[in-house]
Structure 1
Amino acid sequence: MMEQTSVYGWTWYRHEYHNETLNQLIADNKGCEKWLENIKENKSNYLRIERDRDGDQIVRGSLTYKQDPKNQSDYEIFHFYLRPKSLVTVGLDLSSIEGDYRDPCDHLIIEEKTPVEGFLILLGELINHFLDGIDELEFKLKELQRDVQRNNHTTLLNSIYDRRIELINWSDLTLPVHEAQMAIKEAFLDEITETPAYKRIETRIDRTITLLSHYRQDIDTLLNLEEVLSSHRGNEIMKTLTVFTVIFTPAMGLGAIWGMNFKNMPELDWKLGYLYAMILIVGSTLGVYLWLRMKGWTGDLLRGKKNSKHFD
């Protein structure tokens, strides 16, 4: 266990895992057994607000702060117990959320006047870590948009699906932090909502949610565009096959007739039968094509590509 005391008199107890020292630290508080049980299970987000025996507000729970979008079962979770004079965290690895260009989290947290403000700083660092991942998602989305513009192909659906899963992952991580921020507001009201730490985390979460909403719309737009392009191309393929089938129907019909093996077929004795058959086949095929073209049913299907537009 690591114990850090602020110059303002409150203490931050940092535990790597559940132990007897942790039991003794919160043994006299209401709801501690449920919290300790959740630490042992270490499976899901959890949040509760209540009062201790002295009438002070307590916010306790668990937060998932890292999760692999490709493997939802690969995640890291930490547990917290927040009181007016102390903060207890279990299983939190600060090194995994600290950015290369940001100050160390523990210094920022312990320099705050109260443990509640310190915990808000911790939540803010979590959001910063999520924003780093969202920035990477933005770059991937830009690449995906350029790929759609340059060359729409079937593998793009897989890419769009991957980006959607990644976005859901960051949304799932942000929501519990947002809930914890609202729980702190509920527990401590104006005492905390007027502090710079609270206003900062509130604005940062709003910014994150705005970005997630924007990228969700981008992904939905890309998905709709891909569906429109795929549907259009599917329709063009079916129309092309239909036109070709209709054009060559006379040839297939005549070929089927003269492919029969009946003994009494007068055409077999014609001296110029082969020439007549070729003229009839070519003439009927050309006649059907001209009829379709006159009706305007061939459209652009039988024309060559002149450019690389998406709907060609």
Structure 2
Amino acid sequence: MITAYQYQDNILHTTQLTCSDTIPEGTLWLDVFQPEDDERQWLATYFVEEVPEEDDFNEIEASARFYLDKDGLHINSLFPQRVGQDLRTVNVSFNLRKDFLLTIREEDVGLMRLLRNYLRLGRLENMTPPDLFLELFNLKVEYLSDLIEDVYTVLENVGEQALNAEELDDIFKLITFQEDANGKIRLTLLDTQRSLRYMNRYYRKVLSEDNVKDLKEMLADVDSLMPHSQFIFDKLNFLLDAAVGLSGLQQNKIIKIFSVAAVVFLPPTVIASSYGMNFENMPELDWQYGYPMAIGMMLASAVGTYLFFRRKGWL
């Protein structure tokens, strides 16, 4: 699906394009969502170089994710996307040209919907393709900041729950979930930092003074968020160690109970085993008080062992 956006007098005009159409005059943003083969062939008519393929989006080499050619600036960047309670990362291919911004993506991105709403509401004035690109990245940095704050809030509750042994299973699941989310946040921050630094280094001459200012502010924001992400990793490791330690203590208590029970019943077991032997020369077998004596000895040995443990402070 190919959608062209024209933004004139703070009014957004949307046009759905087919392979028989041409890009409307005054297009600010051309968004291509899950392009088919015929749509890629249509895009190729507007490219001097090759059209980026889906496999190119997932490359991690800097030379594949950020480069300049005759078609303008190319940046493949990760965007965070909430899917229920899970956090995912979505790759979006950007081609920043003098006339318009081209985006190619295979999945939906919530921040791009938010940007379209801003344009519809007229909240953005005198937009140019670089302005649009930087505004979308600015929304991404703000959203990443909100995600880090959400992780902080969750970890505060986890710290309180970690003292409750009955919720250890839920705590382990929550810690694992937050570690995965924080890892994706950090990965997206690093990718954003690399994208903006490349743009600042190799595309700076094309940008306006306001664009350069916004670029530097975003880089400063990303730099300030990185220590928070590292702190979350440290806190997650601490909470995981605390939960594992508490789990070990609970297991030790259970094992201790079984150990004490085994030791308390050891003397009665020895007595019962001794008098349970059916040898011919055992004088107590014919004794009238032999059975009560054996029972009394077993009870006394068990109680004596228990009191000894209590006196030592082992119980």
> CA offset at residue 280 of structure 1?
1.8
> CA offset at residue 105 of structure 1?
5.8
Q: Per the alignment, in what secondary structure is the counterpart of residue 260 of structure 1?
A: coil
Q: How far apart, CA to CA, are the structure 2 residues paired with 1:76 and 1:62? A: 8
Give 5+ residue unaligned stretches, structure 1. 302-312
Matched, 1:143 2:157: yes
Aligned to 1:88: 102
Task: Give the letter for the 2:178 counterpart.
Answer: R
Aligned to 1:310: none
Task: Answer whether contact 1:13 1:89 (CA < 8 A) is retained.
Answer: yes
Task: Answer whether contact 1:250 1:284 (CA < 8 A) is retained.
Answer: yes
Task: Answer whether contact 2:186 2:229 (CA < 8 A) is retained.
Answer: yes
Q: Per the alignment, in what secondary structure is the counterpart of residue 65 of structure 2?
A: strand
> CA offset at residue 190 of structure 1?
7.4
Give 5+ residue unaligned stretches, structure 2. 10-25
> CA offset at residue 75 of structure 1?
5.9
- 1:90-129 to structure 2, matched below 5 A, reads 90-91=104-105, 96-97=110-111, 104=118, 111-112=126-127, 115-129=129-143
Task: Answer whether contact 2:96 2:102 (CA < 8 A) is retained.
Answer: yes
- 1:174-253 to structure 2, matched below 5 A, reads 174-189=189-204, 195-253=212-270
The alpha-carbon distance between structure 1 residues 108 and 116, as it changes in their structure 2 partners (threshold 3 A), is farther
Q: How far apart, CA to CA, are the structure 2 residues paired with 1:293 and 1:193? A: 80
Q: Per the alignment, in what secondary structure is the counterpart of residue 13 of structure 1?
A: strand
Matched, 1:131 2:145: yes
Aligned to 1:260: 277
Aligned to 1:25: 46
The alpha-carbon distance between structure 1 residues 69 and 203, as it changes in their structure 2 partners (threshold 3 A), is farther
Aligned to 1:154: 168
Q: Per the alignment, in what secondary structure is the counterpart of residue 63 of structure 1?
A: strand
Aligned to 2:297: 280
The alpha-carbon distance between structure 1 residues 110 and 118, as it changes in their structure 2 partners (threshold 3 A), is farther
> CA offset at residue 21 of structure 1?
3.6
Number of residue pairs aligned between Structure 1 and Structure 2 = 286
Task: Answer whether contact 1:59 1:82 (CA < 8 A) is retained.
Answer: yes
The alpha-carbon distance between structure 1 residues 182 and 69, as it changes in their structure 2 partners (threshold 3 A), is farther
Aligned to 1:66: 81
> CA offset at residue 192 of structure 1?
5.5
Q: How far apart, CA to CA, are the structure 2 residues paired with 1:255 and 1:183? A: 83
The alpha-carbon distance between structure 1 residues 5 and 287, as it changes in their structure 2 partners (threshold 3 A), is closer
Q: Per the alignment, in what secondary structure is the counterpart of residue 212 of structure 1?
A: helix
Q: How far apart, CA to CA, are the structure 1 residues paired with 2:205 and 2:275? A: 95
Bigger mean CA offset, 17-26 vs 42-51: 42-51
Task: Give the letter for the 2:132 counterpart.
Answer: G
Task: Answer whether contact 1:49 1:57 (CA < 8 A) is retained.
Answer: no
Task: Answer whether contact 1:45 1:176 (CA < 8 A) is retained.
Answer: no
> CA offset at residue 251 of structure 1?
0.5
**Deviation by residue 1:57-98 (Cα, 9 ceiling, x = unmatched):** 6333253442648778x7644221124554211238887227
The alpha-carbon distance between structure 1 residues 258 and 233, as it changes in their structure 2 partners (threshold 3 A), is same
Task: Answer whether contact 2:92 2:105 (CA < 8 A) is retained.
Answer: yes
Aligned to 1:78: 92
Task: Answer whether contact 1:49 1:187 (CA < 8 A) is retained.
Answer: no
> CA offset at residue 14 of structure 1?
2.5
The alpha-carbon distance between structure 1 residues 23 and 229, as it changes in their structure 2 partners (threshold 3 A), is same
Q: CA RMSD in A?
A: 3.8
The alpha-carbon distance between structure 1 residues 165 and 93, as it changes in their structure 2 partners (threshold 3 A), is closer
> CA offset at residue 255 of structure 1?
1.5
Aligned to 1:306: none
> CA offset at residue 221 of structure 1?
1.7
Q: TM-score, normalised by structure 2?
A: 0.73
Task: Give the letter for the 1:96 counterpart.
Answer: G
Q: How far apart, CA to CA, are the structure 2 residues paired with 1:251 and 1:14? A: 83
Task: Answer whether contact 1:6 1:110 (CA < 8 A) is retained.
Answer: no
Task: Give the letter for the 2:45 counterpart.
Answer: Q
The alpha-carbon distance between structure 1 residues 263 and 98, as it changes in their structure 2 partners (threshold 3 A), is farther
The alpha-carbon distance between structure 1 residues 272 and 249, as it changes in their structure 2 partners (threshold 3 A), is same
